[in-house]
Amino acid sequence: MVVVIGILVALLAAGFVLLVASATSAGDSQGSPWRSFRAGWAARGTRDEAARAAEAEPVDLKLVEFLTVTADEGDPYLHVDELGEGLHRARDKALGALPGARRS
């Protein structure tokens, strides 16, 4: 019985949301949410872009070729010199925090 009441409350809430959405989008050029819902429900059985893409023939490409084609010749994200400097600063701070540690 509790499940049935929960389902009814959910349906009433969904109806209320549709009612409020249709009232607030009265001047919308796309139409009402109710029309959009019906159009989506009617088109649910049609094939969409994802289904066509899933059925497309796969492209056989070696990893080296893929990386060559998609390589970015710009400035690298990671600069080794900056990374090394940051590690040295962190090491010096850590050694400074330890009592009795010698810096080399």
pLDDT in tens, 4-14: 999 999 999 99
Predicted pLDDT of residue 7: 95
Instruction: Tell me how crowded residue 32 is: count the other CB atoms within 10 A of its CB.
Output: 15
Residue corresponding to tokens 């084609």 = 69
pLDDT at 29 over 70: no
% of residues, the chain, pLDDT over 70: 77
Taking the CA atoms of residue 52, residue 53, residue 55 and residue 58 in that order, the dihedral angle to the nearest 10 degrees is 160
Banded model confidence at residue 30, pLDDT cuts 50, 70, 90: low
Banded model confidence at residue 47, pLDDT cuts 50, 70, 90: low
Condensed to tens digits (0 to 9), the pLDDT of residues 53-86 reads: 777 787 888 999 988 888 877 776 778 888 899 9
The Cα 101–Cα 96 span in angstroms is 7
Q: Length of the chain in residues, anyone?
A: 104
